[in-house]
């Protein structure tokens, strides 16, 4: 994407349809999925050398309860019917931080398509401002592969500021793996569907200590979490490991036997330990247990994503257990309305 907007004459910007001289923006529909996945993968191969999405996984993404395709997506369609790009706006209560995901096919950059998509996305986010608490800061957040200068230039030109970096880390599962050493009084129990709500509450409590966390009403947050975690293509509850201390959840690691269609790569989706059980090497034990189970399932590698400046020091733990960065991305933010930040910025006492 580039910041060149000279070829775009935008009409009726806040309406359902946006007309430009080179393309038309319209809401996405499920029939657009193959083209959008192809665009995303073309971008991913350019920056990371491998595909980012599968059709199956992104079908579930577009079925997410928080994403209304009519109101919160747009695809850029060229006069010949080719889909050149896509943008999504993800917003949920309390509407203080809005995530924008967008892609333009690498062969179609420099035509103002990225600018038109971001114009629409920013206008859509502005419509949410009045739904946020009156005194709260409202931000728009997006990300780019580190070093992908066209996207970085576009974000900077639009007034975004780079605020964070994220890492994709991996390690081999070949050979003999360390045996987990459990803290005294802590033991794994088989996960069952009856534990979903208790597990959600424990994970949500743990996530309070993650940078950027925003508290969401439980009824909405739990429904979204349940959909995203259990409707995933590779969901396998036998790879969810929950550690208990007596009758309380002390920590958990939630894994999937594949990632982005790669069945050789096991994926750690969530890892967390509640505060009373931290600094007892429980997170390390959970990871080693997960590594062993993924190895037994046939995975030859394991990976995860992490905030590079993790408030809880997660990156140090991951390096200690053999994970190394293989990709990185930069997070950009733009203040839509000034006010008090309701997101986690530092650890509280």
Q: Are 100 and 141 in contact (CB under 8 A)?
A: yes
Q: What is the pTM of this model?
A: 0.90
Q: Tell me the per-residue pLDDT of 269-321, one tens digit each, with 9 for 90 and over.
A: 999 999 999 999 999 999 999 999 999 999 999 999 999 999 999 999 999 99
- pLDDT in the model for residue 176: 97
Q: pLDDT at residue 16 above 70?
A: no
pLDDT range class, residue 10, cuts 50, 70, 90: very low
Token pair belonging to 125: 């986010």
**292-298 own/partner pairs: CB under 8 Å, 24+ apart:** 292/177, 292/180, 293/239, 293/241, 293/255, 294/173, 294/239, 294/255, 294/257, 294/266, 295/173, 295/177, 297/239, 297/257, 297/266, 298/257, 298/263, 298/264
Count of CB atoms within 10 A of residue 280's CB? 18
The whole-angstrom separation of Cα 261 and Cα 240 is 19
Rounded Cα–Cα distance for residues 200 and 193 (Å): 12
């Amino acid at each position: 994407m580039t910041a060149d907007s000279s070829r775009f004459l935008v009409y009726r910007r806040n309406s359902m349809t946006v007309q430009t001289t080179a393309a038309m923006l319209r809401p996405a529909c499920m029939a657009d999925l193959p083209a959008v996945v192809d665009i995303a993968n073309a971008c991913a191969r350019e920056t990371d050398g491998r595909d980012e999405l599968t059709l199956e996984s992104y079908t579930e993404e577009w079925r997410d309860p928080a994403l209304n395709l009519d109101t919160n997506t747009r695809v850029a369609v060229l006069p010949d019917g080719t889909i050149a790009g896509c943008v999504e706006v993800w917003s949920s209560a309390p509407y203080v931080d809005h995530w924008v995901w967008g892609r333009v096919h690498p062969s179609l950059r420099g035509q103002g398509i990225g600018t038109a998509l971001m114009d629409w996305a920013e206008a859509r986010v502005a419509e949410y401002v009045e739904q946020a608490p009156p005194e709260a800061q409202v931000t728009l957040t997006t990300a780019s592969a580190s070093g992908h200068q066209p996207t970085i230039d576009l974000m900077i030109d639009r007034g975004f500021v780079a605020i964070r970096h994220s890492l994709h880390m991996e390690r081999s599962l070949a050979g003999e793996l360390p045996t987990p050493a459990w803290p005294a009084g802590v033991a794994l129990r088989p996960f069952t569907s009856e534990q979903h709500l208790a597990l959600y509450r424990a994970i949500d409590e743990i996530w309070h200590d993650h940078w950027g966390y925003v508290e969401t009403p439980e009824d909405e947050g739990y429904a979204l979490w349940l959909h995203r975690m259990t409707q995933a293509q590779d969901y396998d509850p036998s790879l969810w490991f929950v550690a208990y201390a007596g009758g309380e959840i002390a920590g958990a690691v939630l894994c999937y036997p594949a990632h982005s269609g790669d069945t050789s790569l096991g994926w750690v989706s969530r890892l967390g330990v509640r505060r009373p059980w931290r600094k007892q090497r429980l997170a390390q034990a959970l990871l080693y247990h997960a590594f062993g189970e993924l190895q037994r399932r046939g995975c030859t590698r394991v990976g995860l994503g992490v905030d590079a400046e993790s408030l809880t020091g997660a990156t140090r733990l991951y390096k200690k257990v053999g994970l190394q960065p293989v990709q990185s991305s930069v997070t950009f933010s733009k203040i839509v309305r000034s006010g008090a930040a309701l997101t986690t910025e530092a650890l509280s006492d």
